[in-house]
């Protein structure tokens, strides 16, 4: 059967899923997508995830990893971004396990992207401290040391100039305010310089949909740390969730 697991990536507008080969980082078969149910309530989202898992097939014992726009601590979702507040304080792993009838591993979506980059992407084989950042509606972050995830980093919320700086530097701010690449890069410079001064990383990886246009803004940044675009891109959440589910299959 090989080293395979199902990865599910839950977002504010869509839920994606696929079977992944967690040794090679390749998706097996089609990647499926359904709309995130209106309101993003837990039971409705669990139903949508169950539908994707059934359509993907695979062995009934295949591990399932679910990544999510929330802080996740021991399977409990502690926050909720672009989904219902009903998730806050909910045992999400128990919810999905009851619905799907199998072991589930739930994690933050930026953590999943970080794992994907460490195993299959731009941070593969890198030693020392890597920080993954995802630029989108907010700024998601993941910390990896020698390729191992240190979960639940919320470094997008660094306070700079008296404000939660993801409101200034996320890609949504560029779109909302109609910023040029140069003006947005100036804000990113301030954010990444602060991150660099606090943690002194060896590598920074930049993901999110805008990373496809990395040549427009990464060359404008002046940092001591090497900063590179993510490589796993749209598959990052699926691959990272599947990889950690497989790794934690006996836990």
Q: At 222, which CATH number?
A: 3.30.420.40
Answer yes or no: do 74 and 132 share one domain: no
- Domain around 39: 4-111+235-247
> What are the tens digits of pLDDT across the range 93-145?
999 999 999 899 999 999 999 999 999 999 999 999 999 999 998 999 999 99
Residues 228 and 203 sit within 8 Å (Cβ to Cβ): yes
Answer yes or no: do 67 and 136 share one domain: no
**Tokens of residue 234, six digits:** 């749209």
Residues in the chain: 251
| CB neighbours of residue 120 within 10 Å | 23
Q: What is the mean pLDDT of the chain?
A: 94
Asked if pLDDT for residue 1 goes beyond 60, the answer is no
Answer yes or no: do 97 and 151 share one domain: no
> What are the tens digits of pLDDT across the range 55-72?
998 667 789 999 998 999
First to last CA, the chain: 21
Three-class secondary structure of residue 114 per DSSP: helix
> What are the tens digits of pLDDT across the range 217-240?
999 999 999 999 999 988 999 999
Phi/psi of residue 106, nearest 5 degrees:
-110, 135
Residues 205 and 117 sit within 8 Å (Cβ to Cβ): yes
Distance, CA of 132 to CA of 67 (rounded, Å) = 15
Asked if pLDDT for residue 152 goes beyond 70, the answer is yes
What are the C-alpha distances in Å from 112 to residues 71, 159, 170, 223?
A: 12, 24, 19, 25
| Residue 172 binned pLDDT confidence (cut-offs 50, 70, 90) | very high
The number of folded domains in the chain is: 2
């Amino acid at each position: 059967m090989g080293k395979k697991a199902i990865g599910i990536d839950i977002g504010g507008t869509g839920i994606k899923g696929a079977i992944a080969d967690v040794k090679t980082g390749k998706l097996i078969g089609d990647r499926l997508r359904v709309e995130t149910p209106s309101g993003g309530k837990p039971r409705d989202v669990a139903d949508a995830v169950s539908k994707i898992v059934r359509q993907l097939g695979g062995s009934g014992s295949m591990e399932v990893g679910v990544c999510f726009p929330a802080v996740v601590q021991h399977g409990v979702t502690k926050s909720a971004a672009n989904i219902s507040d009903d998730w806050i304080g909910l045992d999400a792993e128990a919810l999905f396990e009851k619905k799907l009838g199998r072991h589930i591993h739930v994690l933050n979506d930026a953590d999943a992207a970080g794992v994907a980059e460490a195993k299959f992407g731009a941070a593969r084989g890198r030693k020392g401290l890597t920080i993954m950042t995802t630029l989108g509606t907010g700024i998601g972050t993941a910390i990896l040391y020698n390729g191992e995830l240190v979960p639940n980093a919320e470094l997008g919320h660094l306070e700079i100039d008296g404000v939660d700086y993801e409101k200034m530097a996320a890609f949504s701010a560029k779109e909302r305010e109609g910023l040029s690449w140069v003006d947005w890069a100036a804000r990113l410079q301030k954010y990444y310089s602060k991150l660099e001064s606090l943690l002194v990383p060896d590598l920074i990886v930049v993901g999110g949909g805008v990373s496809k246009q990395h040549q427009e803004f990464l060359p404008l940044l002046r940092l001591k740390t090497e900063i590179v675009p993510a490589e796993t891109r749209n598959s990052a959440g699926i691959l990272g969730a599947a990889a950690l589910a497989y790794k934690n299959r006996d836990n």
